[in-house]
Chain A
Amino acid sequence: MAKARTDLMQGTLELLILKTLSRDSMHGYGIAQRIHEAADDLLKIEDGSLYPALYRMEERGWITSTWDVSENNRRAKFYKLTKAGRKQLGAESANWNRVSQAISRILQTA
């Protein structure tokens, strides 16, 4: 069966990461697991795609990273939301709600 393709909004992955990190600092695997669990397997994320997003977000100052020991006693890189990241999360969430409301309205009226 041919796969249909379409785009989600740019920045969706960043929004999911920001939201996931808003509770706790986590390593990449933990972030991926948390998103899989929260999405209840409706969204499938190619785990590796998180990393370029994480590095870009760190470059923008939304998150910081430190090497620490993980829950299974291995060295892992943990990511934490910064103040700028929390602000970005607020802005991105508001934008997402606005756009999804607008699309819902159009779908209901059209």
Chain B
Amino acid sequence: MKAVIKRLFHRFDRQVIESQIEEELRFHLELLTEQHLLQDMSLSAAKDAALKRFGDVEQIKDQCVEISKSNRPMIRALKFLLVLVFLSGVSIRIFGPELSVTRVGDVLIAIAVLGRLFFYVRGLNPSRFTSGDEHSSPLKLNDNGLTFTAYDQTRRTPLERVISDP
């Protein structure tokens, strides 16, 4: 039981999440480096080639941490709890027989709304609002230097891209 609880809290630890993501990305980079070493490259050239093929490690790590944070079981449980609090508040507000009881409902609704707002603001990533065009090309067609993006992460329409891209 103690081990189960320890393991559960271990999963919630932000540092653990970050170190696991780092370990996963490092594993990939090491195998890529080994793959390039087999092509008779020097170690530094192989590392450079691996990094080039991998992309911006720090940016990718940050993205994974952000996604993991929102996917943590504790956060999901809290969000679910807020929904229950909201529904309880609404029920009390509707069916509460006295004014003093309906005020409890108001308080519950307020807690639920503020809680959701907190999670929304916390989940905002400033990088979503900036133009990270250099990093928005995960998929490329390997022909004549034409570059195709899987999708535009900056959420611009094709017309906007034509206008703003040189």
Contact = CB atoms under 8 A, between A and B. Distances in A.
Interface string A1-12: 111111111111
Interface residues of B, number: 40
Interface of A: 1-13, 27-29, 32, 41-53, 55-56, 58-59, 67, 70, 72, 74-77
Interface stretch (B85-93, B94-102, B114-122, B141-149): B141-149
Interface string B126-166: 00000000000111111101111111100000100100011
Output the residue of A41, A44, A74 with the most chain B CB within 10 A.
A44
Given A51-B24, A58-B71, A44 B142 contact: yes
Contacts of B137: 5, 46
Contacts of B148: 5-8
The 7 closest A-B pairs by CB, nearest first: A49-B138, A48-B55, A55-B67, A46-B55, A10-B151, A48-B60, A44-B140
Query: Helix, strand, loop or mixed for chain A's interface?
Result: mixed
B54 interface: yes
Interface of B: 20-21, 23-25, 27-28, 31-32, 53-57, 60, 63-64, 67-68, 70-71, 137-143, 145-152, 158, 161, 165-166
Contact of B53 (A4, A46, A70, A72): A46
Given A48-B54, A49-B138, A2 B166 contact: yes
B150 A4 contact: no
Contacts of B152: 7
Contact of B139 (A3, A4, A8, A55): A8
A13 B70 contact: no
A46 B152 CA distance: 15
Contact of A1 (B57, B145, B158): B145
B28 A41 contact: no
B139 A43 contact: yes
Given A27-B27, A47-B54, A49-B60, A9 B151 contact: yes
Given A41-B142, A49-B138, A12 B151 contact: yes
Contacts of B23: 75
